[in-house]
Structures are given as C-alpha cells and as structure tokens.
Structure 1
Amino acid sequence: MSDDEEYLEKSPAAARMGKAAEYLVAASCILATRGELNVSTSLVDDEGVDLVFHRRGSSTTLAVQVKARMSTGTQVRQGKLMASVRSQTFQPRSDLDMLFVAVDVERGAVMTAWLIPSATFEAMVTEPDSRGRYRFSASMKPDSKDRWTPFRLTAAGLPRRILDRLADV
C-alpha cells in the first residue's frame, strides 16, 4: 500500500482524532489559566495554523500548529513521539510555534507536549525528506536528554509556557 493510499484509508478517523486533540489542548489551556488564555481556531487549515492563542485584554497572538499522536499508536506506546511537518505549509515566523502532543485517549488528556518556536524548529531540523517533510522525533521518557528535551512539557506546564511565549512575541 502506498503512503497516499494509507493516508486516505486512515484519514477520517485521523482527522477526527487530530481535531479532538486540538480542542483538548485549547480547552485545557483555557481551564488551567482560569480564562486568562483564549483560543481561536481556523475554519480552513491551509497555512499550517490550527490554534491561535491570546491573553485576555491583549491583542498579541501566538499561532500554533498542532501535531498530535495518540496513546494507542505504536510509537507513543514505546515512549516516542514522531511527526512530520510539511515544508509546503511551514513558514517560520516569530508568532508561530509548533506543538507536538501525545494524547492519552483513555483519559482524554495530554500526556506530554513539546512547544517549539517555529524559527527554532527550522534551525534544529534537517532538510526535508524526499516528500518535502521535516521529521520530528522525541523521547517521552523522563530521563531522556534528546535535543527536544528543553521544549518538553507536562500537561500542567503547557498553559504557562504559552503565556510566557505570548509575553515574548
């Protein structure tokens, strides 16, 4: 089965699960900050932006592209999160971050997350592969010291980091 055929076969469930993960991140950030953060979503995701965060009373925004992987997946069960980012839609800028999240589907909760400014992500990844995709591969293991460790967050730490990033933008 080709990658395109495999993608088409998985696409309805994958799209639902991905959208649910985006809303999970948005809702948990709003709740954890007691409404300090607000989140907007795109009707069409053709620019690689899934969520736009802003702090109540401020016009500053942080656009976020979300790449979610589920706890039922082989890689996550082995303690690793792997994702790819299409170079065709990836446009680094100061107000865009990449958010990679592992989601526990049984609990409906974020397990581990990595929030990476897009310019930093671009500087840390190698050239796109033959299909034009940048690869992200990080260990979820607490004692890991891979290159993505400085960006790794718990579910509780994610909303605070987003607030910090908004202060930096």
Structure 2
Amino acid sequence: MSDDEDYLDKSPAAARMGKAAEYLVAASCILATGGELNVSTSLVDDEGVDLVFHRRGSSATLAVQVKARMSTGTQIQQGRLMAFVRSQTFQPRTDLDMLFVAVDVERGAIMMGWLIPSGTFGEMVTEPNSKGRFRFSASMKPDSKDRWSPFRLSAAELPERILARLAELEKVGAE
C-alpha cells in the first residue's frame, strides 16, 4: 500500500482535507471565470459526484468526481499523483469527468490537475485491483509523456477546460 493510499485510509483529517480541496477547485473556477461558472455540491456522495459545474445562461451541466492529493504526501513530493477510484461506484457517462488534483497545502492552491472524461478514463484504466479499485498514476513532471499527460492541466487551465467541456455537452444536448 502506498503512503498516499495509507494516509487516506487512516487519517481522521483525510475527509476534511478532501472536502476542502473540492471547495478549492469550485471557488477557484468561479473566481477565474468571473462568475461565468457556477458549482453545486452533493449533500450525499453516493454516486461518485463531488461537484456539478454549470455555465451561466446554459442548461448543460458537468458532474465531476474529485480525487485530491496533498503536497505533504510522499507520492506528490516525488512528482507523482496516485489515486484510486472504486469500481463499485464508477459509472462512466457523457456528463461525468474525473478530476485528479495535486494541492499545495502551504499555499492552499491547486498545483496541477488532470480532467478526464469518465468514458475515456474507463477505457484507459486496467482491471481493478484486489480491493476493487482502479489505479490512476500520473507523472507531475512537465516533460512527462505518460498516457495521462494529454489531460494534465495547470491551475489556470482548469476553469477554461471545464468551460470547454460544458460547450461540448451543450452541443450534444442541442443535437
């Protein structure tokens, strides 16, 4: 078991840190788009949806499952983000994306992220491990060409990519 997985399973603060990271993503996207994006959260997270993005004046929505890892974790310090997605709750659909983010806890800021449509994620991951989890492991190195690098985003690129995904969903809904 990796340090990061162990940390998430055992730390009493893990849920609090994860929720804070979700709100950090939500707030930074609203602020960076001048209020163009709005975000809703779920009271109960039983469908793997943490945030739902909506563009002002549009009916399209993008559901996002957020998997955050903190800069204090060994994997992040070594330049890798590793996270697990439960196969039991993972249901790919057109309007669901997976967002993996590295968070700098000292600055309270997103370091980088990977926004991956759930269908694409489902096609790219291998079989679940013995605990029924899909493993996501991506390099944070800027020159990395791992299979997840096409989805890697800076904190500044994330809100624009979400707006682009909403535009794609709007087109699909209009057809």
The amino acid that maps onto 1:135 is R
Q: Does 1:162 find its partner at 2:167?
A: no
1:1-150 alignment, distance < 5 Å? 9-10=10-11, 12-150=12-150
Structure 1 residues 76 and 6: CA distance shift in structure 2, 3 A: closer
d(CA) in 2 for partners of 1:167 and 1:8? 37
CA offset digits 1:88-140 (Å, max 9, x no partner):
11000000000000000000000010000000000000011111100000000
The two structures have a TM-score, normalised by structure 2, of 0.92
Give the Å deviation of 1:59.
1.3
Give the Å deviation of 1:8.
5.6
Structure 1 residues 7 and 77: CA distance shift in structure 2, 3 A: closer
Structure 1 residues 41 and 114: CA distance shift in structure 2, 3 A: same
d(CA) in 1 for partners of 2:22 and 2:163? 17
d(CA) in 2 for partners of 1:158 and 1:62? 13
Structure 2: which 5+ runs fail to align?
A: 1-5, 170-175
The two structures have a TM-score, normalised by structure 1, of 0.95
Alignment check: 8 A CA contact 2:7 2:14 kept: no
The amino acid that maps onto 1:148 is W
d(CA) in 2 for partners of 1:150 and 1:100? 13
Give the Å deviation of 1:7.
5.7
SS in 2 for 1:64: strand
SS in 2 for 1:150: helix
d(CA) in 2 for partners of 1:8 and 1:20? 17
Structure 1 residues 82 and 6: CA distance shift in structure 2, 3 A: closer
SS in 2 for 1:102: strand
CA offset digits 1:57-95 (Å, max 9, x no partner):
111100000000000000000000000000011000000
d(CA) in 2 for partners of 1:85 and 1:14? 16
Q: How many residues align?
A: 165
SS in 1 for 2:127: coil
The amino acid that maps onto 2:93 is R
